[in-house]
Each structure stands twice: as structure tokens, then as C-alpha cells.
Structure 1
Amino acid sequence: MLRANAATIHQLGRRHGLHCFALSAEPGELVATLDPDRSYFDVTSFETDLSSMLGALVEVVPRGPGVEVEEAEPLSDLRGAA
């Protein structure tokens, strides 16, 4: 489900200061980089908006010091791909 909605995830992520998404080894979980001028409020707002759009719970783990999460694969933004 997340892979199929990659373009939407990237577009919504930009509005919330999130980028460089990857699928986590855990189902329904994304890993992302949070812009330095943003906070965890932006992460939870993104989770709420995306979960509502997809009709399923989505969790985001922001990369950073002390955060250990297994990234399964990058989530490419396929817009413009041939």
C-alpha cells in the first residue's frame, strides 16, 4: 500500500518537512528525514493526514541520533518515471 502511494507520500511529506522516505522492515512504518526547522508535531500531523488518506494506520520513524530502525528499501517518488 505504501509503495503504491509513493508520489502522494512524497508530496504530503514536503508540506510537513519530511523527505527521503524508506520502507521500514515493520509493516505500515516509514522512515524519513525531518527538516531541521521542524518538530515531532510535524511528524504526527503527517501520520494523521496520511493515515486518513489511506484508511490505514501509518507510523513514521524520523532518522536521527539514537534512532535505530531497519530500512527495507527506499521509497522512490515515481513521478515522471518512464
Structure 2
Amino acid sequence: MVWLFASGHAVDIVLAVIAVELIWLVAGRGWRMTDALLRLGPGVLMLVALRFALTGHDWRWIMTALLSSFPVHLADLMRRR
């Protein structure tokens, strides 16, 4: 199991599940793509930051992914108002 996390593939599996959820929300539940992306986007960006951290990327990549999740989260909140 160590290799699964050290390689970042554990995060890849979670991202694949989220991709299936995105397809299900848009095709199965009738959500607009924008709404689904804004709802799932912050979590995806935080998972990307986690993958960067697990695979030893530079801290700037981790910070960029984490900081990018916040405006997407705010856009989702504003859209839902």
C-alpha cells in the first residue's frame, strides 16, 4: 500500500471517482456542467495539491493548487446565491 500513496496513485483513484461523479451529475441528474464543475472543483484542486505533496513536487505547486481552490469555492458560493 505504501507505493500507492508514494506514487500518488491513491489520489488518481479518487480523482477518477470524482470524474465518474461529474459525468453522473451532468448526464444522469441533469446538472449544468458549470454548476457541477464549480461544486467539485475546490475538492479536485485540493486533491491535486495532495498529489503534488505526496510525489515530492516543489512547495510552489502545492501552494498554487491550494490557493486556486479558494476562488473556485467562492465562485460556487456566489453562483448558488
**TM-score scaled by structure 1?**
0.31
Larger Rg: 2
Q: Quick one: higher RCO (CA 8 Å, sep 6+), 1 or 2?
A: 1
Judging by fraction of residues, say which structure has more strand: 1
Judging by fraction of residues, say which structure has more helix: 2
**TM-score scaled by structure 2?**
0.32
